[in-house]
Structure 1
Amino acid sequence: MNELLKRDLTLKIVSVFFAIFLWFVVLDSSNPVTWIELNVPLKIENESSLREKGIMIKNENFPRNVSVSLKGRKNTFNNIGLNDIEAIVDLSKVEDVNTQFLYVNVYTNKDGVSFQGVTPRVVEIELEKLGENPFPVKVVPTGKPKEGYKVVRSNAIPATVSIEAPDEIINSIGEVRAYVDVDNLSNDIIVNKECLVYNKEGEKIAELDKKISVDISIEIAKEVPIVPAVRGRPAKNYTDGIHRVVPEKAWISGSSEIIDQIDNLKTEPIDIDNISESMTKIVNLALPEGVRLVDTPRSVYVDVVIEELAEREFVFGKESIEFDNTARNNSFRYEVLDEIIKITLTGTRQELNKIAPESLRLSVDVNGLSEGEYKRPINVVLPDTVKLVENYDVKISVKRN
C-alpha cells in the first residue's frame, strides 16, 4: 500500500513539472523574451543643488537623448512608450568642483521589463566655482527734463545687486548701470529697469544681459526765484530799496499739478514799519501745501536796504510839453504859456541819478477844451522807483484855427 502511494506522489510531481515545462514552451513560442532599444530624452535634475555648494556648470553640452536597452516579453513592449521610461542625470550627486562625470540612471514603471544597459552610461560635466558679489548700481539719466527742471536725485532700489557668475566673470566686472529716460520730465517717477553690466574695459558683458533688474527712483525739482516779502512802511523820508536774498533761487519738488503753477517762492513777511536803517534778517521760506524744498535751506538771508529819500529838480522848456487828446481835424491850436517848467522828483539818490531828463515824458490832457486859457495838471511818466514831490500845473492857451 505504501509503495503504491509513493509511486502516485512521484507521478504527480513529475506531471506538474512537465506541465510547467510545456507552458514555458508554449509561452516562448507565442510571447517570447525579446530586447528593444529606445531613444529616450535625457533629463537633468537638481541643478539648484549646485548653487548650494557654490558650483555652477561651465559647459552644458549634455547629450539630448540616450539609447536605453530593455528586456521583456514581446507583448509587454507592444504598448510601451517614452512616458514609461526615464533617463536621469542627478546633479545632487556632484560632490565638488572636481567631479568630472555622472552616471545616467534609468527608471521604468512597466512590470516585466528589465533594464539591460544605456548608451552613454556616463556623461561628462565641466564645473567651476560660483562667484557672488554685491555691486552698486549706477543710475544714468538720459535726455533733459522739462525746461526749468532738473534731476536732483536718482536712486536704485536696492542700491546694490548680487550677481552670480563664474569667478572669471565676477572678477572682470567694472560697473553695473541702469539707464532711465528723463526727457521732458517734470515730476517724480519710479520705474523698473534692467541693469547692464560692464567689464573694467567698459565693454558690456553679454552673458549677464537681462538677468538683473531694479526699481529706479527719479526725483525732479523746479528752480524758482525767492521773493522777499515785507510789511509796513519805513520812517518818514525813508524808503526801502533793493531787497537782496541769499540764496536767490530755490529748488522745489512735489506733484506736477502744484509745481507747474508756482513761479516764485516768497519768504515770510519782514516787518520794516517805521525803521530808518538797513538790516539783515534770517527768515523762513513760506512753503505752499504739497511743496518741499530740495537742496535748498528753509531759512534764507534777506538784506533790506533802507535809504533816506533824496530830491532832484528837473527843468524843461515849454516845447517839452506834449498834448494828449487834441481835437480832430486840427480845429484848435494849443500852446503852453509858461516858458519854464520845473518839477522835483524824490527817491533814492541812486535811482534819481539814473534818470536822464530826455527820458521823461511830460504831457497835458486837453480833451474837450474849447477856446480860452486854462491851468492844467502836468502828467509825467516816471520809473516805479521815483515819485513827484507834488502835483504840478501849467498854463495853456487854446485857439481855433
Structure 2
Amino acid sequence: MNKINLLFKKDSVIKVISILIAVFIWFIVLDQENPYEEKILSIPLSSNTEVLRTNNLQIIGNQIPSSVDIKIKGRRDHVTAVAANDFHCNIDLSEVTSSGTKTIKIDTPKYLGDKDIMITSVNPSSVVLSFERVVGKQYPVNVEFLGKLPPGYELVNFRVDPGNVILEELESSIEKVEKVIAYVNLDDIGDNTEIIMRATAIDTNGEVVRQFEGKIPIIVRFDLARRLPVLAATKGEPADDFYLKEITYSLPEIRVLGAKKVLESLSRIDAEAIDISGKSSSFSTPLSLLVPEGVTVYNADAEKLTADVILDQYQTRNINIPASQIIIYSDITGNKTFKISDDPISVTIKGRSDIINSVKPSDINASIQANGFEDGVHEVPLIIKVPANVSLIGEYTVNITIEEETGATPTPTNP
C-alpha cells in the first residue's frame, strides 16, 4: 500500500494516468456521438465476357448478375460518406474454356475511396453459370416457289446472293437446322428483277427454327421470260419448178426477257425475211430476230435458233378423164348425134405433190365447143379447168363424130 502511495506521489505517473483516463473518456464520448455502424450497398458487378468469344463460348440460362450486395462497417460519418460507385467488383471468366455448368467465384470488391471502412461480407460470393459452345456451319440456300406464273412464263438466270450462308449460334441451335430455304412467291412477280428478303432456317420436322428468324438476309435475282413462237417470211422466188414447201424452226418457241407489262403485249417474235431467190434445194439459216424495245432474247435459245427452209420441186401426174364427163357445147340445129371417140382422155397436171395426189378426175372440168361443124369426124380443142394451186401441162384435143340421129341422141348444151 505504501508503494502505491509513493507511486501516485510521482508527477510522471500521475500524468500517464491522466492521459489514459482522458483517452478513455474520449472513446466513450466518440462512441456516443460517432458510433460504429454497418451498411449494405448494392455495387455494380463487371465482367470480362468478351474472353468467351476466344473459345467460342456463350452463357446460356442464368446470366451474370449486374450487381452484388456488400456489407461495410465503420464510423457513422465514414459509412454515410461511402457510395456504391466507390467500389469495384469483378467476375473473371478467363478460366472458362469448355462447355458445361460451372461455379465462378466473384472477386473480393475493392474500395477506391479514402474513408476508414471495412467490407465484412459479399452476397453472392459466387454464381453458377452454364456455358455452351458457339459454332458456325455453312448451308446452301435452297429456293422454293409459292404460287404460280401465268402460262408460258418462267424465271431464268435465277441466282441467290449469297448462294451459301454461314449460321453462327449455340451448338444446340445449329444442330436443329437441316436446311435454309428462300420462299419466292410467284404471284408477286411483276416488273421487278430482284427481291430483297430473309431466308428461313428449317429443322428436320419442317418447322421454322425461331432463333434464326429474320436473321438470314439474301437477295434473289432473276429475269422474267415468256415463251413465244417465231415467224419468218421469205423474199424472192426460188428456181423454176421449185416452191417453198415450209419453214421449220429448231425451237418451236423461244424465251424472251423483259418487264411483265411488255411481255404481255406480245404474241410472237418476227424475224427478218429469208431470201430464197434462185434456190433449188433446201437449206438451213440463222435468223435475225426483230425484238421490240425493252425485250431481249434468252441467250441459250438465241444460240440454238435456226430455220430450215424446205424447197420442193413441182410434180406432174396423169389423170384419165372419161369421155362421159366432157360437156359438149354446140349451136348446131337439127337431129344430130355427138360422140367423142377418145375415151378416156389422159391429161397431165402439175403442182405440189400433196395437192396433185389428192385431185380426182371429177375435180377437173372438161368441155368442148362443137359449133358450125358438118357431119363427120372433127378434132376440137378440149377446154380444161383444174383446181386451184394446180396447173395444166400442155394442150389437148379430142375427136368428135357428128351424125344424123338414128336413135337416142345425147343432147348437146348450148353455150
> Does the CA-based 8 Å contact 1:310-1:348 persist in structure 2?
yes
Give the structure 2 partner of residue 66 of structure 1.
68
- The alignment status of 1:119 with 2:123, answered yes or no, reads yes
Q: For residue 234 of structure 2, what is the aligned residue in structure 1?
A: 230
Instruction: Quote the residue 2:39 is aligned against.
Output: 36
Q: Size of the alignment, in residue pairs?
A: 326
Contact 2:197 2:218 in 1 (8 A): yes
Is the alpha carbon distance of 1:108 and 1:271 closer, same or farther for their aligned partners in structure 2, counting shifts above 3 Å? farther
Aligned-partner SS, 1:207: helix
* Partner amino acid, structure 2, of 1:228: A
1:266 aligns with 2:245: no
Of the three residues 292, 304, 307, the one matched with 2:309 is 304
Distance 1:229 1:18 in 2: 132
Counterpart for residue 56 of structure 2: 54
Residues 235 and 64 of structure 1: is their aligned pair in 2 closer, same or farther, counting only changes over 3 Å? same
Cα distance in 2 between the residues matched to 1:37 and 1:80? 11
Change in Cα spacing, 1:79 to 1:151, as seen in structure 2 (3 Å) is farther
Change (3 A) 1:212 1:231: same
Distance 1:207 1:110, change over 3 A: same
CA drift of 1:122 comes to 0.9
Q: Deviations over 1:58-116 (max 9, x none)?
A: 43354565323234554566576666666554544534446823233546666536544
Alignment correspondent of 1:139: 143
- Alpha-carbon distance in structure 1 between the residues aligned to 2:111 and 2:297: 70
Pairwise CA distance, 1:161: 1.1
Counterpart-to-counterpart distance in 2, 1:77 and 1:56 = 39
Contact 1:50 1:56 in 2 (8 A): yes
Q: Which position in structure 2 is the counterpart of 1:330?
A: none
Residue 214 (structure 1) aligns with: 218
Please say which structure displays the higher CA radius of gyration.
2
Partner of 2:379: none
Q: Give the match's secondary structure for 1:277.
A: coil
Q: Which residue of 1 aligns with 2:193?
A: 189
CA–CA separation in structure 2 for the residues paired with 1:95 and 1:26:
57
Distance (Å, rounded) in 2 between the aligned partners of 1:33 and 1:354: 129
Q: How does 1:1-400 map to 2 (within 5 A)?
A: 28-39=31-42, 45-63=47-65, 66-75=68-77, 88-92=90-94, 94-97=96-99, 100-105=102-107, 106=109, 111-112=114-115, 115-256=119-260, 258-283=262-287, 285-288=289-292, 290=294, 291-293=296-298, 295-309=300-314, 348-350=352-354
Aligned partner of residue 47 in structure 1, secondary structure: coil
> Contact 2:351 / 2:391 at 8 angstroms: preserved in 1?
no
Structure 2 residue runs without a partner (length 5+): 1-10, 320-324, 328-348, 361-386, 393-415
Residue identity matched to 1:141? F
Q: What is the one-letter code of the residue matched to 1:52?
A: T
User: RMSD between aligned alpha carbons?
Assistant: 4.6
One-letter identity of the residue aligned with 2:308: D
In 2, the alpha carbon distance for the partners of 1:223 and 1:107 equals 78
Q: Compute the TM-score of the two structures, normalised by the length of structure 1.
A: 0.64
Distance 2:120 2:213 in 1: 45
8 Å Cα contact 1:134-1:160 kept in structure 2? yes
- What secondary structure sits across from 1:298 in the alignment? helix
Query: How far apart are the structure 2 equivalents of 1:97 and 1:184?
Result: 46
How far residue 296 of structure 1 moved from its aligned partner, in angstroms, is 1.9
Distance 1:354 1:30 in 2: 136
**For 2:23 and 2:223, how far apart are their aligned partners in 1?**
90
Partners in 2 of 1:346 and 1:78 — Cα distance? 126
Call closer, same or farther: CA 1:28–1:90 in 2, change over 3 Å: same
1:303/1:123 CA distance change after superposition, 3 Å: same
TM-score relative to the length of structure 2: 0.62
